[in-house]
Structure 1
Amino acid sequence: MSKYHSDQPIQEVNSDEFNRGVFVNDFIEILANFEGTENYIVGLFAKWGLGKTSVVNLILEKLNSENSFCTVYVSAWAFGGDYEKILRDILEQIYQKIENKSTKTKRGRFGKCLSKIAKAELPFELDTELDLNGGGRAETKISSGKIANTARYIGEILSSTDNITKARKRVEESIERSRKKVIVFIDDLDRLEGRRIMEILRIINTIADYGGMTYVLPFDKRYVCSAIKECLPDGQSGDEFIEKIIQVPINLPALTQEKINKVMFNKLNLLLSEYHIFVSSEEISRFQKLYFGGVDRYLTSPRDINKLINVLKFKLPSANGEINIIDTIILEIVRVFDELLYEIIKKNRELMIKQVNTFSQRYLMDSDNKSRKDDADKMLSSLNELQKQTIRGLFPAIDTLYTNMSSLNSEELRRNQRLAAENYFDLYFASLDEEDGISDKKIIQLLQLSDKPKKLREALVRLVNQNNFDIAIKTMIDRIELVENKLEFCKALLDLVEVFPSKHTISNFMLSPIATIIFRIDDILKDSDTKLDDYISLLDYNYEASRVDTIPLLIREVVIYSQKGNNRKEIDLTKDEVEFYKKHALEVIRGLAEQDKIPLNTSDDYAFIYSYWVEFGNKTESFEYVKRHIKMGDQAVDFISQFLGKGTELGKNDYHRTDFNESTYKRIDECVNPEYIYNILIHDEKYKALCNSKKEELISIEDSTDEKNGWKSEFSKVGNEHTDEFRLVVARRFMYFYENAVQDR
């Protein structure tokens, strides 16, 4: 695995990605043309991050291969800007390279040694009594602090006698004898504060008359001029001071955006290859459109490239397979180089994406996008053109507001794991929370377990819950070709929803979990060569598990979507195959009836099993079943309440029962003899007074309030069907419709 870029400058020409070789050759030619006895201060100007030190290293590499030069490199920042230490180091390096020995005398080296000892921790306390005479008694008291101070003082005296003047003279004589040109590079001036920079520039200017010595100072001129301004007399600018010091000003050639892009793409391609990340041609085209649409302007230097590649080395391995790679790269560029824009994107989720699964309360009634457009205008008004184009490129919901062409396809965004997809947006800003989201990588691993039923079920229960269920199912269907045993996979999904708190719960106009599974079974089995056997097998599987509520849903799916001419993809069964399925379904229903499992008072949506019982068999069977079980008034009302519809207000999840109307009465009439139900009610003390009610006496379940009768909406909530209030309302309406139906006959 490749290493992270430490932002260290390159050391050799083989690492030169920006083809600085031409400039290096030109620069060395300038140095070579200086007379041996001349002295110059050369300024090599470039902004931070553009590779000044890398260029210096390339120059040093080439100069060191030629015997006529003696090169010295010093980092002013490494010495803390201490000009005396810097000067000493320069002289020492020159003398070492020419004479192969130190400029320091023995006396000076001893003084330096004492200074180091003085800084060391002594092996005794501050005040210690010692036996110096060997008499066995500690009669002498010594302070370690005094010893340290004394050693430091003596060291400074000895070192000072070995002064810079003597070292300079020895170096001058050595240079003259060698006839070499000495090139001294003092780097990192632009990392120091102004006062330190001024001290170094002044000392260089003072000693620049050494014969055959040239100083090269690479720095960011804009920063240095600004930093030293406060140290200059009033009226003198930093530029003026630099012009007096620098005799040969040279600008490092700017890197073209084309060159920066080329190097960035090379590194990015290597990174994608290293992590085995494949990007489709369509996605590459989208990246080019986004990148060259303005995002490339965030990258202006080699340092920017290295910073981005380091970030992507961390991000891409975890993003691969979970979120869109192109959106990840673009968003990371924004995060690293434009924190303001990144925060705007992060905080405007509801505006940026077109929500489908969970409806936005803010834009729920915004069918013409007026509110969204107003909010988008306000957001974009504070951004520059580059930022606007980046947002519009990443979010079709925003782009569509300003163009006549809509590129918004929620399913396509989801399949491509895009930042603009509601199920993936949050994953770009935080670690995957599998309570509400799900790992696409783990989904792929799960799909490959279809031939291992036990492990498959364990993985489903572990990974999929009611919160992440919808996106999990869609992701599975997207990759259904990975499933080897599709029938077993369908069974495992049906088993999964059984562990949910409520498999019939409907949320935000979405199908319930059980309805979603059954609806998706058609997609899973679409390429099966044994469709009829598969659907029958699923029916039997749920019969054996006594899942009475699932069986009518399975039957309905086949009966409805095997009919030709439906809007959605049909189930490919012949007419004879459908008839065979119906006969088998009838046997399953009869088997449930024999076990007394057909619903009598459910509040869920599977009472329509009676309709299939009658359609595939006859009304007599279902009516006899009802007569066997329904004997009391409350039982009769609870039975007919099963056939009521459900409804809710727009954007809410609290479902209420709809009114018992003529359509409801007809559905009951198809399955049982209404007279039987009516007779039970009129012989029950609780309900017999409801006979011969007038139309104006009927209470509407759907009305939120009925001030005349004082009924509250709470009583109509699904789950409250077994209260006396609800039963009386339903019984009165049933008896009214029955009595009028008899009169009509």
Structure 2
Amino acid sequence: MEILGDSPINHKGEDALDRSGYAEHIAKGILKWKSRESLCLALHGPWGSGKTSLINMCLEIIKEQTATLDSKEKPIIVRFQPWVISGHEQLIRTFIGELRKALKKPDLSEYAHEAAEKLEVYEKIFDYVSWLPVPGRGYIEKFRDGLKLLKGSTRAVQKDIENDLDSNKKRICDALRKLQAPVLVTIDDVDRLTSEEIRQLFQLIKAVADFPNTIYLLAFDHLLVEKALEPFQRGSETRYLEKIVQLDFEVPNPSRSKLTSVLWAGIDDVMKTIPSEKYEQTRWNEVKFGPLPALFRNIRDVKRFLNSVNFIHPIVQNEVSPVDVLIIEAIHVFAPDLYKAIRDNKEYLLSDPTFARGRSKNDEKDEWIKKLPDMASSQFREEIQELLILLFPEIDSVFNRHSWGDGFWEAWESNKRVCLSAYFEFYFKGTVAEGEISAKESDNVIKELGAYENLVLILKNYMVDGRIKKLLPKIENHLKQNHDRQLACSFISAVFETGDFLPFKPDGMMELPLDWLIDGTLYRVLKMFDEAERKGILADAIAQTKSAVLFPISLTNYIWREWYRQDKDNKQKEKEEKLLTQTETDEVKDIALKLIRERSKNENFYKTRHLLSILHDWVRWADIDEVKRWVAGIVSDEKKVPEFLGGCGGFSGKSTMGSHFATYKLKIEPKHLEQFCDIHQLKTASEKILKDNPEWLTDSYREILTIFIKGFEKKDSWDDE
């Protein structure tokens, strides 16, 4: 990671903004100045506009154009930096000292040396004055008051000052006038000083150092300095600066094309390449040729932005969308309050399917979104709004009334967009939120798609902790881009094999049940392949399983209902494309029925989650007496009754209006078991178990039996249904 310094350029060769021509214009003006009077030039520009870089190039050009001259004919350059001086008392003395040292150089003329000699007396006087107790006074006033105090000291000191002060300055001026080239004093970053120090500096130039044959080149932000000098302007129609500065130069704004070229070159160094996928390339072009370049006013803005991107990019690389990174970091640099608002209010901005499904208009959210651009500076509020629209579909919906279908979500997921909860936290914290899956983690899982045994072990963990809902879309997108029959078959079979480890109770979110999500994912994966391949992939996936039952049956039911469901929409559904032909559907149904019969012989089959739905499918595809015989065999063993009833129950949820969360309770309705067994006999058996309270009866079993018995209290309501 390389952080770009805020240092100015030192040479014309480093000039990427084509300002060397302007620097040459100033340099030539200085060299052509023939008057022996003092001249003060001012270079105006806000912080970061390149004032120091212009001064550096200007001095370089002056040195180049006078390189062949004798040293006595070259301008004597003094670079005075008042903001590095500690203590107010040092300013005048330090300035005189710097000027004296420059004039004292051995290769200069005798007149330069004479001026340096006389400046030494000036310096001594300020040495005397600096320790005098004259509180609350400015430099010039203190200098004068100090002289008065000195008059009361020894006759020798008094005589030395009275006789030599005026004549000494006159000798300095006479010597400077005789120089063949002027003294050029550059004073940069004047606006870094405090208001008091700025006033003292201009007093110095006006009253103490107003030497002939001397050119001052000052660099500062005009507004800041003028505000600091306001006390000197009271009661005067003429601005104080106009009394000192004879010629003003404005730092030219860099051309938009040059500034943008520097910006893109820096981005390329950081990002290396923008993704070649058509979708991201389109978004990148919208950013590159749209609002982003308009945010940058000077090279300092560019460096601040590139440093921000340079810092975050190695942390989030390959985990998020690089285009979104650029937009977010632009907001971070140019609208920090807006950045914080986005970071802390993701619930208004996410476009997850779970957030979008069944969404009603939220006036509070819309009003909040409409106020977001106001958090940016007015000078680029419009550009920030455009960037926000490119960043978040929810914001685009509010400002442009666009609606987004499920097809867009696949692209957002594929490109790891900030508008999805799976990636949002990574953009701001460099880590995924709890319960989410990083791109690196999902990539590691995808690498194991062809290793069935490993994949089963991996998916089992994701089923247990519920994060399978975050992993499935990533695998689905991978398979969509890589139509590999073997990988698809391995994936479907591994999901079948591990599906029974999925938590039975929902996790509290108001969203699609995980079972539906899994069935939908497997269905779409099968549909990726040609019609002739689908049935074979599904049959092979079922055959590869060892103990799976729930999802092979539920997916088969999902497919079977495309042909055989009986509802009012059946006529419309008949026109829709089916996953399999009717003959293939019947063949898969027979495979599923065979699987049920085989698994029902397993002693733990009665513990299967969502057992009731499997029993219903068994009845649909076989003789009901076959199912009744199996159920009778299970409930005849009282130890199996609680878990059998638990598998025949379901969870109902309740939530408050506008909430994404719900509380779930187990619900076992006797009416759903009527066709399989004598529910009253089963109730009596359950009551007996509770009464006998055997050692094997756990609290969980007791709760299940109690819920089942209480279900009979609603008999009147379901008898009439």
TM over 0.5: yes
Shift of 1:100: 11
Per-residue deviation, 1:44? 1.2
* Cα shift at 1:618: 3.3
2:631 pairs with 1:626: yes
Identity fraction in percent: 18
Q: For the residues of structure 2 that align with 1:172 and 1:457, how far apart are their CA atoms?
A: 96
What is aligned with 2:360? Answer: 367
Change beyond 3 A, Cα 1:251–1:173 = same
For 1:68-121, what per-residue CA distance to the aligned partner results, in whole angstroms no more than 9, with x for missing partners?
53333232223347332233223323443844999799xx9xx99xx9xxxxxx
Cα deviations across residues 660-708 of structure 1 (Å, max 9, x unaligned)? 55xx36xx53xx5x5xx26946997969xxxxxxxxxxxxxxxxxxxxx
Separation in 2, partners of 1:225, 1:515 = 70
Q: Helix, strand or coil: the match of 1:309? A: helix
CA distance in 1, matches of 2:668, 2:289: 57
**Aligned CA distance change for structure 1 residues 399 and 32 (closer, same or farther; 3 Å):** same
* 1:254 paired residue number: 253
1:327-349 residue CA offsets vs partner (Å, 9 max, x unmatched)? 32222222222223223333433
More helix by share: 2
Distance 1:563 1:292 in 2: 54
C-alpha distance in 1, partners of 2:282/2:634? 67
Distance 1:488 1:28, change over 3 A: same
Q: Please give the TM-score of this superposition, normalised by the length of structure 2.
A: 0.73
Residues 319/58 of structure 1: CA separation in 2 closer, same or farther (3 Å cut)? same
Structure 1 segment 205-220 matched on structure 2, within 5 A = 205-206=206-207, 210=211, 212-220=213-221
Deviation at 1:245, TM superposition (A): 1.3
Find the partner of 1:79 among 74, 85, 90: 85
Root-mean-square deviation (CA), in Å?
Answer: 4.8
The equivalent of 2:447 in structure 1 is 448
Amino acid at match of 2:326: I
Alignment of 1:397-412 (within 5 A): 397-407=394-404, 409-412=408-411
For 2:18 and 2:462, the matched residues in 1 are separated by 51
Partner of 1:90: 99
- 1:473 paired to 2:482: no
Instruction: Report the CA distance shift for 1:201/1:281 in structure 2 as closer, same or farther (over 3 A).
Output: farther
The code of the aligned residue for 1:398 comes to: I
Q: CA deviation at 1:34?
A: 0.6
Deviation at 1:54? 0.5
Within 1, Cα distance between the matches of 2:328 and 2:685? Answer: 70
Unmatched segments (≥5 aa) in structure 2: 128-156, 566-571, 656-660, 689-699
Distance change >3 Å, CA 720–CA 521, structure 1 → 2: farther
Change (3 A) 1:406 1:679: closer
> Does the aligned pair in 2 maintain the 1:633–1:681 contact within 8 Å?
no
TM-fit CA distance, 1:519: 3.2
Paired residue type of 1:306: K
Q: Is the 8 A contact 1:607 1:642 kept in 2?
A: yes
CA deviations on 1:403-453 (whole Å, 9 max, x unpaired) are 454357545444443333344333332231353222123322431233455
Q: For 2:604 and 2:461, how far apart are their aligned partners in 1?
A: 31
The answer to whether the 8 A contact 1:638-1:727 is kept is: no
Distance 1:7 1:473, change over 3 A: same
Q: How many residues align?
A: 636
In structure 1, the partner of 2:140 is none
Find 1:536's aligned residue among 534, 539, 564: 539
Name the SS for the 2:611 alignment partner. coil
Closer/same/farther in 2, CA of residues 357 and 51 from structure 1, 3 Å limit: same
Residue of structure 2 equivalent to 1:120: none
8 Å Cα contact 1:335-1:342 kept in structure 2? yes
SS in 2 for 1:9: coil
Residue 504 of structure 1 contacts residue 514 of structure 1 at CA under 8 Å; is this kept in 2?
no
Is contact 1:418–1:424 with CA below 8 Å preserved after alignment?
yes
Deviation string, structure 1 residues 142-187 (Cα, Å, up to 9, x no partner):
xxxxxxxxxxxxxxx9xx99x999999799869956x334422121
Name the TM-score, length of structure 1 as normaliser: 0.71
Partner of 2:187: 186
Name the counterpart of 1:429: 428
The amino acid that maps onto 1:527 is F
The answer as to whether partners of 1:395 and 1:420 remain within 8 angstroms in 2 is: yes
SS at match of 2:105: helix
Distance 1:317 1:612, change over 3 A: same
Residues 568 and 487 (structure 1 numbering): CA distance in 2 closer, same or farther, change over 3 Å? Answer: farther
1:341-386 deviation line (CA, Å, top 9, x unaligned): 22333343333345542589xxx8x724445445555767787653
Deviation at 1:196, TM superposition (A): 2.5
Distance 2:600 2:429 in 1: 52
Q: Contact 1:464/1:472 (CA < 8 Å) preserved in 2?
A: no
The answer to whether the Cα contact below 8 Å between 1:358 and 1:508 also exists between their aligned partners in 2 is no
CA distance in 1, matches of 2:196, 2:680: 106
Residue 539 of structure 1 aligns with an amino acid whose one-letter code is I
Q: CA deviation at 1:459?
A: 6.3
Match of 1:584 in 2: 591
Aligned to 1:657: 667
Residues 1:300 and 1:547: Cα distance change in structure 2 (over 3 Å): same
Is the Cα–Cα contact under 8 Å of residues 195 and 228 in structure 2 kept in the other structure?
yes
Partner of 2:7: 8
Amino acid at match of 1:351: Y
TM-superposed CA distance for 1:35, in Å, is 0.7
Contact kept in structure 1, 2:187 and 2:217, CA below 8 Å: yes
Give secondary structure in 1 for the equivalent of 2:215.
strand
Distance 1:356 1:217 in 2: 60
Shift in alpha-carbon separation, 1:59–1:426, aligned structure 2, 3 A:
same
Alignment match of 1:489 (pick from 488, 491, 515): 491
The 3 A distance-change label for structure 1 pair 341 and 720 is farther
Shift, 1:309, TM fit? 0.8
| Letter in structure 2 aligned against 1:187 | D
Task: Quickly say closer, same or farther: Cα 1:392–1:435, change in 2 above 3 A.
Answer: closer
Tell me how far apart the structure 2 counterparts of residues 394 and 372 of structure 1 sit (CA, whole Å). 17
Residue number among 613, 616, 635 corresponding to 1:608 in the alignment: 613
Match of 2:347 among 346, 350, 364: 350
> What residue number does 2:196 align with?
195
Whether the 8 Å CA contact 1:198–1:228 is kept in 2: the answer is yes
1:553 corresponds to which residue? 554
Letter in 1 for 2:325: T
Question: Which residue identity lines up with residue 194 of structure 1 in the other structure?
Answer: S
Matched-pair contact (CA < 8 Å) for 1:36–1:181: no
CA contact (8 A) 2:523 2:555 kept: no
Residues 298 and 556 (structure 1), Cα distance of their counterparts in 2 relative to 1, 3 Å cut: same
